[in-house]
Structures are given as structure tokens and as C-alpha cells.
């Protein structure tokens, strides 16, 4: 995705100066959101400074398994995707859209005008950056713009982290969504821990980022640091734990709607919706109308929904997708096939969250590969 | 305040602990609004003053466990325009449905000095096994927010906003990392209906399924994962499905599969 490569100069930020950068963001009025350890996982929360980052923590992931552990490293970003993505800030799980009050014979609608905070997202990996780019198309890509998303998105500052530690479930190399952040960030860093020094190679990707960086008055990066960064990213690109063959994948899946594999997945799938809710690109939601006891006040709320629920396709007479087979097939073919027709990219960024957080370890790379391997309409 | 005649509310109890109907009295902040919107016509836990039926909205707590109760519920249905069963007992038979897996006469002979005084049914069954139920509100106990929502929806002539989907959705919306994935704790959340707000996972415990099975539970797949990846043995599997909703069809079947070995 996005081929734009920044022309701004690369600088060196000593790791001990990370707080200077974070404080500069706070002084500009940003609320910091970044990775931190909570409840046996590295989650995304509001943070106060560098001390809240998961220094010395890492994790190992398998299908249906996420194991947090201490590794004693001094690194700040030595881990792969966790259970949260930044979508929870741009596309909140539950939100009041408006309320209406009875007024004479009719009613009066009052819009919700709460101002969203300006978030600075700290430590956004390239996969998640691409996921934000995908959601930008969904929520702001045509004439129907979502004002909630737009406000939050436009106010946000993005501090990306080039990913040098892909995990066992990562496959951004397959999806062309990483490990290097190509565009869409304000600042991007590459963490470098060598024997004698611990630094961040830092580069602006926008005017906003450039201004902030200039104010920090950092030294230019030398050739050695840039070469080391190239090597780090080359190594990362070839150490993905998962692989997805995307060659003609949309048509392979379209040709295999009646593949027996769908039924086999349905035997395992719990239809619990976890995959869709951890996915950083899934955008489905529902609206719910509520009233107070007197019926004088009504509210409309928006909340996350999932194509794995029966209510999702419920209309008079029942659910259009009543079986788990039809729900899983809908989800996987949307991500890896019909999304390309709808939005021009895959709906998957290779972050591996759906694999780790599936309670029974269903792996979409394995399922897509199994269908390709026994393609019913191979050409 | 809109002008309308106050609908009449009745609350009845069958085999149960009273906890669910007390949730209504426990609505401290909202109880006056409830009393303002609805006439509490027959609710012995709240008032000795009983107004005769028919009732516009009847809440029924508890399961059917005696021949007398199996008759009584029909009379209640006849005097109720809308009947809502509340709680795990009323919607699946409750914890007392554990008797359904054994010989109840054996229990009676061991527990009571005069077993011949006891008249009881072999099985504890939900209200919907006996009469038409307009809505089933799950939970052990029910959530008072959901109870208010049901009363509220009834008063405003709309469908209650009560999800039939998994507890997982509540965990994900509140940002709780999955206890099964991150801690290897067996959790019934993926096969359990939402409504509690995912309380147990929020306190780092697996779900006990107080709210019973989701609309389309795949308990077989979950059990397989527990056995093969989390080292859960057959006894624990049987016990897990035999909680407050042991009598719910999906859980009854699943527990019996593992009991047979």
C-alpha cells in the first residue's frame, strides 16, 4: 500500500529523550494513546509518558494463544500486535449519535456535539497504519462521510514504529502492508538497540511531524544508522511467521463458494465474532434506539456489530446468513476477495489478530491456502 | 409526561431464589420512575396490596418443579396479556435442573424424613415448556439494566434491545483481553449469551454461562479446544455445562456427550 516515501531527513533520537518527544505532543494538546501492559496482554490505552510503555515485555503468539512474558530487554517496542487496534479510538465501540425529546405534537432532535479529544497514537505499526488507511476509505472515501470518524481522524497525530520484530502470526510481507511504514504517518521511528547505544532513528512524514521534530533539535542520522535500519527491515520482511499467497486470490475464492472446506471450518467456528472485533479494518456496526420509561426521551446509539451474528442479516422471516458456514465464508471472502471490488485493496493487513484471538485458533491463512490447494475450478 | 393509562404489572414466583424479582426493587435510581409509569398490581415482595387481574405485563421467575405449579402457570398465562419469564430458572430450569440428570425420587428418599409428603416432578423445566412466553430474559441473576429495558420496551411498544450474541462481544467492546487466549482459562463466553457486561472475564475469570447458550452455540468445538489445548478433563467439562443453565438444550446435550465419555 501507499508508495510515498518521506523526503524529510532522518534524525537520531536517543532513547532517553523519548519523553521529550511525548511531552512535546502533550504540550500541543494531544492525548497520548499507546501500548501498555494490562491483564496479561499489551493493550492500547491512554498513557502519560514513556514509563507506561511495555519496556522489557514481549509476547509469543500461536493460533488461539497469546502469551505475555518478560524478556528483560530495554526496548520499548519489542512485541507484535496485541488484542487492541487504534480503531477503538477512531471508531468507538459504542457511541450516542443523538437524542430526541418530545416537543408539543412532535419531537426535537439534539445532536451530540461532544468534542473528541486529539489523540497522538504512539507506536503504530505499518499494518495498523494501512488498516487506518483502509478505514479512511470506508468512512470518508465517498460522499457519505462519517462525521465521528472524520473528526477523530483529522485531529490525530500518528507516531509510527517501523516493525523490526514481526511475530509468529504476522504476514504483512504477503499483504504488502509492512514492515516499513511507507506513508500516512506524522513521524516514524525505528528502534535500534546496539551494545553501546539505544536510539530511535526518526523521520517526519508530514509538515506537522516535521515541525515537532525540528523543535527537538536532534542530530542527523549517520550512514551507519541508516544502513542498520535497512538491514533491520530486510530481516523483518523475511521473518514473518505466516504467509498468504495473494496471487489471483480474489478469483480463487469467488470460484469456490461451494468448497467443502467451508463446512469443515463451520464445525470449528464458534460464530462468536472475536475475529471481526479484533480486526483493525472491520467496520460493521448497528444502531439501536432506546427510550426512557416515560417515552419522552429517545436516544440513538451506534455500536460495533459483526457479520457473525444472526441479527446482522435479520429481516422479516429470519437471518439471510443463518448458518455458521455462510457467516465465515462471508467474512473471509469479504476480507480477501470482494473487498478488492469494493475498496480496491484487500481488507486484510496481515496483523494476525484474528488468528491469535480466535478462541479455537482458526487461521485464515491456513483456510485460504486449503481452499487454493483444492481449488474446485483450477485453471 | 405523556398521558396514558398506567399498565398493570404482576410478578410471580416459581422454584427460584427470589433474586431476579428483587432486581426490580434493586433499581434504586429508577424505581420511582418505574412506579410512576406502571401500576404495581400484584407483587407480593413489594406490597401486600394486590389488585386483581388481568395484567398487562407479567414477570415470571422460577422453574416448574411440582404438579401444582404446572397448573398454576396456566392460570397466570390466562390472566396476562404479555408474559416475560425472567432468570435462568424460568428460562432453562435453573440450577435445580441438575435433578433432570438423576432420579429425583432417590433424592427425596434421602433428604426428607417423610418422603410421602413430597409431591414433585422428575424434571425442573422452564416456563416456555408449559405456556407461551412472549419474551425470555436470561441471567442468574438477571441484569437490572436489561430488566428495565424490557419494561421500558413494553411501555413504549418497541422490541427490547437485548442481544442474543456472545459474551465475547461484550469483552471486546470493553477492551478486556480474552482470558482463554491470554491466560489459558477455560471460558464459556463464546457459547454464552451477552447481558452481564462480561463481568467474570473483566476480573480475570472464565465465564460460567449465567446467561445460557447463544442463539447458535457450537459447544462441541469449544469443548474440543478445552480438552486438546487447555487440558480440561471430562468431569470438568460435564460440570462446566451443568451450571445455572444445565437444562438448556445445547448445554444438556453437550454435558451428556462428555458424561458418556
Q: Can you name the residues that pair with A190 across neighbouring β-strands?
A: A201
Chain A within 8 Å of B227 (Cβ-Cβ)? no
Rounded to whole angstroms, how far apart are CA atoms A262 and A183?
Answer: 36
Contacts of B50 (CB under 8 A, 6+ apart): B41, B42, B44
Nearest chain B CA: its distance from A32 CA (Å): 17
Average pLDDT, chain B: 95
Q: Which helix (H) or strand (E) holds A193?
A: strand A187-193
Q: What is the CA radius of gyration of chain A?
A: 22
Q: For A290, which of B161, B173, B184 is closest by C-beta distance?
A: B161
What is the arrangement of strands in the sheet containing A94-103, beginning at the earlier edge strand?
Answer: A106-111, A94-103, A297-304, A285-291
Q: For A311, which of B164, B172, B190 is closest by C-beta distance?
A: B164
Q: For A291, which of B152, B173, B181 is closest by C-beta distance?
A: B152
With beta carbons less than 8 A apart as the criterion, state whether A367 and A265 touch: yes
Angle between helices B219-229 and B249-259 in degrees, nearest 10: 40
pLDDT given at position B225: 98
A272 vs B contacts (CB less than 8 Å): 166, 168-169, 189-191, 214
Give the end-to-end CA distance of chain A in Å, rounded to a whole number: 28
pLDDT given at position B3: 55
Half-sphere exposure for A211 (CA within 13 Å, toward CB):
7
* DSSP E strands, A53-143: 57-62, 65-70, 94-103, 106-111, 119-124
Domains and CATH numbers, chain B: 8-155 (3.40.50.700), 167-259 (no CATH)
pLDDT given at position A85: 98
Q: For A66, which of B153, B169, B182 is closest by C-beta distance?
A: B182
Chain A within 8 Å of B184 (Cβ-Cβ)? yes
Cβ–Cβ of B177/A39 closer than 8 Å?
yes
Chain B CA closest to residue A353: B181
3-state secondary structure string across A281-307? CCCCEEEEEEECCCCCEEEEEEEECCC
Confidence bin at B11 (pLDDT 50/70/90) = very high
B174 vs A contacts (CB less than 8 Å): 93
CA-closest candidate to residue A182, choices A207, A201, A163 = A163
Q: What share of chain A is helix, strand, coil (3-state, %, to 5)?
A: 35, 25, 40
Nearest chain A CA: its distance from B66 CA (Å): 36
With beta carbons less than 8 A apart as the criterion, state whether A198 and A192 touch: yes
A304 vs B contacts (CB less than 8 Å): 169, 172-173
Q: For A359, which of B153, B177, B225 is closest by C-beta distance?
A: B225
Cβ–Cβ of A66/B204 closer than 8 Å?
no
Quote the DSSP letter at residue A337. I
Rounded to whole angstroms, how far apart are CA atoms A8 and A204?
Answer: 6
The arithmetic mean of pLDDT across residues B195-214, rounded, is 97
A288 vs B contacts (CB less than 8 Å): 161
Nearest chain A CA: its distance from B157 CA (Å): 10
Q: For B152, which of A83, A293, A296 is closest by C-beta distance?
A: A293
Determine how many CB atoms are found less than 10 A away from the CB of residue B149.
17
pLDDT given at position A377: 85
Chain A within 8 Å of B155 (Cβ-Cβ)? yes
3-state secondary structure string across B151-215? HHHHHCCCCCCCCCCEHHHHHHHHCCCCHHHHHCCCCCHHHEECCCCCHHHHCCCCCCCCCCECC
CA-closest candidate to residue A44, choices B145, B175, B77 = B175
| Per-domain residue ranges of chain A | 10-93+115-237, 249-284+307-373
pLDDT given at position B190: 98
Nearest chain A CA: its distance from B81 CA (Å): 19
Phi-psi region of A242 (alpha: psi -120 to 50; beta: other; left: phi over 0): beta
A359 vs B contacts (CB less than 8 Å): 168, 178, 180-181, 187, 189-190, 222, 225
Cβ–Cβ of B181/A66 closer than 8 Å?
yes
Task: List the pLDDT tens digit at each of the 379 positions of chain A.
Answer: 545 678 899 999 999 999 999 999 999 999 999 999 999 999 999 999 999 999 999 999 999 999 999 999 999 999 999 999 999 999 999 999 999 999 988 999 988 777 899 999 999 999 999 999 999 999 999 999 999 999 999 999 999 999 998 999 999 999 999 999 999 999 999 999 998 899 999 999 999 999 999 999 999 999 999 999 999 999 999 999 999 999 999 999 999 999 999 999 999 999 999 999 999 999 999 999 999 888 899 999 999 999 999 999 999 989 999 999 999 999 999 999 999 999 999 999 999 999 999 999 999 999 999 999 999 886 5
Cβ–Cβ of B149/A88 closer than 8 Å?
no
pLDDT given at position B1: 47
Determine how many CB atoms are found less than 10 A away from the CB of residue B131.
18
Nearest chain A CA: its distance from B238 CA (Å): 19
pLDDT given at position A195: 87
Chain A within 8 Å of B158 (Cβ-Cβ)? yes
Q: For A64, which of B168, B173, B181 is closest by C-beta distance?
A: B181
Chain A within 8 Å of B172 (Cβ-Cβ)? yes
- CA distances to A35, A99, A219, A296, B47 from B44, rounded to whole Å, are 53, 37, 79, 30, 5
A357 vs B contacts (CB less than 8 Å): 178, 181
Nearest chain A CA: its distance from B104 CA (Å): 34
Locate B210 and state its grid cell: 449465567
Nearest chain B CA: its distance from A371 CA (Å): 21
B230 vs A contacts (CB less than 8 Å): none
- CA distances to A5, A34, A117, A158 from A206, rounded to whole Å, are 11, 20, 20, 10
Q: Tell me the helices (H) and strands (E) count for chain B, helix number first.
A: 12, 5
Chain A within 8 Å of B149 (Cβ-Cβ)? yes
Q: Give me the DSSP letters along B65-84.
A: -SHHHHHHHHHHHHTEEEEE
Rounded to whole angstroms, how far apart are CA atoms A153 and A147?
Answer: 10
Q: ω before B25 within 30° of 0 (cis)?
A: no
Cβ–Cβ of A310/B216 closer than 8 Å?
yes
Rounded to whole angstroms, how far apart are CA atoms B106 and B87?
Answer: 27
Flag whether pLDDT at B2 surpasses 90: no
Flag whether pLDDT at B15 surpasses 90: yes
Helix (H, G, I), strand (E, B) or coil at B253: helix
Q: Tell me the helices (H) and strands (E) count for chain A, helix number first.
A: 14, 16
With beta carbons less than 8 A apart as the criterion, state whether B212 and B243 touch: no
Chain B CA closest to residue A288: B161
Rounded to whole angstroms, how far apart are CA atoms A79 and B140?
Answer: 40
pLDDT given at position A378: 64
Chain A CA closest to residue B219: A270
Which has the minimum average pLDDT: A64-68, B43-47, B178-182, B199-203?
B43-47
Rounded to whole angstroms, how far apart are CA atoms B183 and B204?
Answer: 8
If one compares B233 and A292, the residue with the highest pLDDT of the two is B233
Note the Cα A233 to chain centre separation in Å.
20
Question: Beta strand pairing status for A187-193 and A198-204?
Answer: antiparallel
Rounded to whole angstroms, how far apart are CA atoms A135 and A153?
Answer: 10
Helix (H, G, I), strand (E, B) or coil at B143: coil
List the 27-66 stretch of B: residues with Cβ below 8 A of A.
30, 33-34, 36-37
ipTM over 0.90: yes
Amino acid at each position: 500500500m501507499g508508495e510515498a516515501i518521506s523526503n524529510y531527513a532522518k534524525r537520531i533520537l536517543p532513547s532517553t529523550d523519548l519523553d521529550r518527544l511525548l511531552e512535546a505532543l502533550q504540550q500541543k494538546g494531544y492525548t497520548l494513546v499507546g501500548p501498555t501492559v494490562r491483564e496479561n496482554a499489551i493493550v492500547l490505552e491512554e498513557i502519560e509518558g514513556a514509563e507506561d510503555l511495555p519496556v522489557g515485555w514481549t509476547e509469543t503468539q500461536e493460533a488461539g494463544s497469546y502469551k505475555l512474558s518478560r524478556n528483560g530487554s530495554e526496548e520499548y517496542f519489542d512485541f507484535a500486535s496485541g488484542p487492541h487496534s487504534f480503531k477503538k479510538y477512531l471508531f468507538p465501540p459504542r457511541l450516542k449519535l443523538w437524542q430526541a425529546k418530545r416537543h408539543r405534537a412532535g419531537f426535537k432532535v439534539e445532536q451530540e456535539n461532544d468534542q473528541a479529544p486529539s489523540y497522538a497514537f504512539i507506536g503504530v505499526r505499518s499494518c495498523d497504519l494501512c488498516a487506518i488507511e483502509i478505514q479512511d476509505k470506508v468512512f470518508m472515501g465517498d460522499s457519505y462521510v462519517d462525521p465521528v470518524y472524520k473528526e477523530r481522524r483529522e485531529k490525530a497525530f500518528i507516531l509510527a514504529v517501523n516493525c523490526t520484530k514481526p511475530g509468529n502470526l504476522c504476514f504483512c510481507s504477503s499483504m504488502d502492508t509492512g514492515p516499513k511504514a511507507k506513508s500516512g504517518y506524522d513521524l516514524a521511528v525505528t528502534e535500534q538497540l546496539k551494545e553501546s547505544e539505544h536510539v530511535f532513528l526518526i523521520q517526519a512524514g508530514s509538515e506537522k511531524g516535521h515541525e515537532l521534530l525540528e523543535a527537538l533539535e536532534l542530530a542527523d542520522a549517520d550512514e551507519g544508522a541508516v544502513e542498520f535500519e535497512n538491514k533491520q527491515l530486510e530481516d523483518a520482511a523475511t521473518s514473518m511467521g505466516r504467509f498468504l499467497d495473494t496471487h489471483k486470490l480474489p478469483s480463487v475464492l469467488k470460484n469456490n463458494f461451494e468448497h467443502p472446506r467451508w463446512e469443515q471450518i463451520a464445525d470449528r467456528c464458534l460464530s462468536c465474532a472475536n475475529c471481526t472485533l479484533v480486526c483493525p479494518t472491520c467496520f460493521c456496526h448497528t444502531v439501536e434506539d432506546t427510550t426512557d420509561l416515560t417515552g419522552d426521551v429517545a436516544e440513538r446509539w451506534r455500536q460495533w456489530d459483526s457479520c457473525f451474528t444472526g441479527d446482522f442479516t435479520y429481516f422479516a422471516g429470519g437471518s439471510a446468513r443463518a448458518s455458521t458456514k455462510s457467516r465465515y465464508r462471508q467474512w473471509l471472502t469479504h476480507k480477501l476477495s470482494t473487498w478488492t471490488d469494493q475498496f480496491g485493496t484487500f481488507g486484510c493487513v496481515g496483523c494476525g489478530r484474528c488468528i491469535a484471538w480466535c478462541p479455537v485458533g482458526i487461521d485464515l491463512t491456513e483456510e485460504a491456502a486449503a481452499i487454493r490447494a483444492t481449488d474446485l475450478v483450477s485453471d | 409526561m405523556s398521558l396514558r393509562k398506567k399498565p398493570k404489572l404482576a410478578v410471580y414466583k416459581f422454584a427460584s431464589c427470589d433474586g431476579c424479582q428483587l432486581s426490580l426493587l434493586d433499581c434504586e435510581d429508577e424505581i420511582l420512575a418505574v412506579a410512576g409509569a406502571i401500576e404495581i398490581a400484584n407483587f407480593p415482595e413489594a406490597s401486600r396490596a394486590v389488585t386483581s387481574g388481568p395484567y398487562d405485563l407479567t414477570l415470571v421467575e422460577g422453574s416448574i418443579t411440582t404438579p401444582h405449579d404446572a397448573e398454576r402457570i396456566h392460570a397466570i398465562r390466562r390472566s396476562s396479556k404479555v408474559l416475560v419469564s425472567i432468570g435462568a430458572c424460568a428460562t432453562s430450569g435453573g440450577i435445580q435442573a441438575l435433578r433432570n440428570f438423576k432420579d429425583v425420587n432417590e433424592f427425596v428418599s434421602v433428604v426428607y424424613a417423610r418422603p410421602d409428603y413430597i409431591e414433585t416432578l422428575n424434571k425442573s423445566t422452564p416456563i416456555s415448556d408449559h405456556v407461551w412466553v412472549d419474551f425470555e430474559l436470561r441471567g442468574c441473576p438477571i441484569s437490572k439494566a436489561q430488566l428495565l429495558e424490557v419494561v421500558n420496551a413494553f411501555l413504549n411498544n418497541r422490541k427490547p434491545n437485548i442481544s442474543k450474541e456472545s459474551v465475547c462481544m461484550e469483552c471486546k467492546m470493553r477492551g478486556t483481553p480474552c482470558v482463554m487466549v491470554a491466560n489459558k482459562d477455560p471460558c464459556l463466553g463464546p457459547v454464552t449469551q451477552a447481558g452481564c457486561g462480561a463481568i467474570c472475564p473483566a476480573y480475570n475469570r472464565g465465564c460460567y454461562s449465567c446467561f445460557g447458550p447463544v442463539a447458535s452455540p457450537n459447544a462441541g468445538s469449544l469443548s474440543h479446544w478445552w480438552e486438546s489445548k487447555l487440558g480440561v478433563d471430562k468431569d470438568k467439562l460435564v460440570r462446566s455445562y451443568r451450571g445455572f443453565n444445565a437444562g438448556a438444550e445445547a448445554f444438556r446435550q453437550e454435558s451428556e456427550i462428555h458424561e458418556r465419555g
